[in-house]
């Protein structure tokens, strides 16, 4: 009897959402320029979560979403997870523009899948956190895809360490040097172009300013990790100094991977902060 109950429960969960896989967002599309859409049954005009996976800009896949699609569907969201081309096959600027192009496709087409193109929440983990923050702050990328900032209702970067690239490069390289260790061969300095001007330009903190329509931020990080903690606080401080809504939340007794995997669990502290953040924005910013 228990086995039958579990089977029926799984069936009901699967039926609660519809998945459309590998939708191309470019024309012609590279095999990595595709996205997945998870929508509740009979979805219509629902807020949209646009999720960007991590993996150091070198690995990762849109299918690595754990329980997020189900949890967001149950709460009345359409959930989109995107792929993008990766280093070293393309340079960082191309990679970022891929994600912007994907978000542009969502803005133009998500109404046909039950989503509201005027209520988009951008989220991402690790490398995806840097990409989410940059797209929601440096408006040049979305302007190129004709996505107005006023459709972005919130941004949730999860445990990123690259909101201020010069700071993290200096931190990591100083630590390695002090301890007599070699510098990373393909660390942030190289990934982001090995050019100080590019490092500044690819940093979300560089582009924070009033009057741009930058959405509210919830910046999640692992409380016990010095790099992501410092970077989260740095981004939060810059946003607040510009008079923009931002909350920084450090999750305790967790790890970089676990923080991401646990998002959606009912007793998870970061999840509680996430839905506390989303609730008023979904209603108040229609």
| Domain-embedded: residue 10 | no
Interacting residues of 257 by C-beta distance below 8 A, sequence separation 6+: none
pLDDT of residue 260: 98
pLDDT of residue 16: 56
pLDDT of residue 278: 97
| Domain-embedded: residue 11 | no
pLDDT of residue 255: 98
| Domain-embedded: residue 84 | yes
Cα(115)–Cα(159) distance, integer angstroms: 27
Angle CA 49–102–163, to nearest 5? 70
Q: Is the dihedral of CA 167, 230, 172, 205 positive or negative?
A: negative
pLDDT of residue 17: 75
Dig out the tokens for 239 from the structure: 């946003």
**Contact at 8 Å (CB) between 260 and 158?**
yes
Cα(156)–Cα(270) distance, integer angstroms: 11
| Domain-embedded: residue 82 | yes
Question: Structurally, how many domains does the chain consist of?
Answer: 1
| Domain-embedded: residue 139 | yes
CATH number at residue 57: 3.40.50.1820
| Domain-embedded: residue 7 | no
Structural domain range at position 253? 18-284
pLDDT of residue 10: 37
Q: What is the pTM of this model?
A: 0.93
CA atoms within 13 A on the CB side of 35: 25
Strand partners, 24: 34
| Domain-embedded: residue 93 | yes
pLDDT one digit per residue (tens) for the chain, 286 residues: 333 333 333 333 444 579 999 999 999 999 999 999 999 999 999 999 999 999 999 999 999 999 999 999 999 999 999 999 999 999 999 999 999 999 999 999 999 999 999 999 999 999 999 999 999 999 999 999 999 999 999 999 999 999 999 999 999 999 999 999 999 999 999 999 999 999 999 999 999 999 999 999 999 999 999 999 999 999 999 999 999 999 999 999 999 999 999 999 999 999 999 999 999 998 754 5
pLDDT of residue 283: 77
| Domain-embedded: residue 8 | no
Per-residue DSSP letter, 258:
H
Dig out the tokens for 212 from the structure: 């741009």
Per-residue DSSP letter, 184:
P
Q: Is 114 left (phi over 0), alpha (psi -120 to 50) or beta?
A: left
**Contact at 8 Å (CB) between 57 and 87?**
yes
């Amino acid at each position: 009897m228990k086995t039958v109950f579990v089977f029926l429960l799984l069936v009901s969960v699967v039926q609660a959402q519809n998945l459309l896989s590998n939708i191309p967002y470019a024309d012609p599309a590279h095999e990595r320029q595709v996205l997945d859409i998870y929508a509740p049954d009979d979805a219509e005009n629902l807020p949209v979560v646009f999720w960007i996976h991590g993996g150091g800009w070198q690995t990762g896949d849109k299918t690595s979403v754990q329980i997020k699609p189900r949890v967001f569907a149950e709460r009345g969201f359409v959930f989109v997870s995107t792929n993008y081309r990766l280093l070293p096959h393309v340079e960082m600027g191309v990679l970022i523009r891929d994600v912007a192009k994907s978000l542009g496709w969502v803005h133009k087409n998500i109404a046909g899948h039950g989503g509201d193109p005027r209520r988009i929440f951008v989220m991402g983990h690790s490398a995806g956190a840097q990409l989410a923050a940059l797209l929601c702050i440096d408006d040049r990328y979305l302007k190129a895809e004709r996505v107005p900032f006023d459709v972005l209702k919130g941004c949730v970067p999860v445990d990123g360490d690259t909101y201020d690239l010069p700071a993290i490069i200096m931190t990591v390289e100083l630590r390695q040097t002090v301890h007599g260790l070699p510098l990373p061969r393909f660390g942030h300095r190289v990934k982001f172009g090995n050019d100080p001007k590019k490092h500044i330009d690819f940093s979300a903190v560089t582009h924070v300013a009033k009057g741009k329509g930058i959405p509210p931020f919830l910046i999640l990080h692992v409380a016990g990790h010095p790099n992501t903690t410092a970077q989260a606080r740095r981004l939060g401080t810059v946003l607040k100094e510009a008079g923009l809504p931002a909350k920084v939340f450090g999750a305790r007794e967790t790890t970089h991977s676990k923080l991401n995997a646990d998002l959606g669990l009912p007793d998870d502290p970061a999840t509680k902060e996430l839905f506390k953040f989303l609730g008023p924005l979904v209603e108040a910013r229609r």
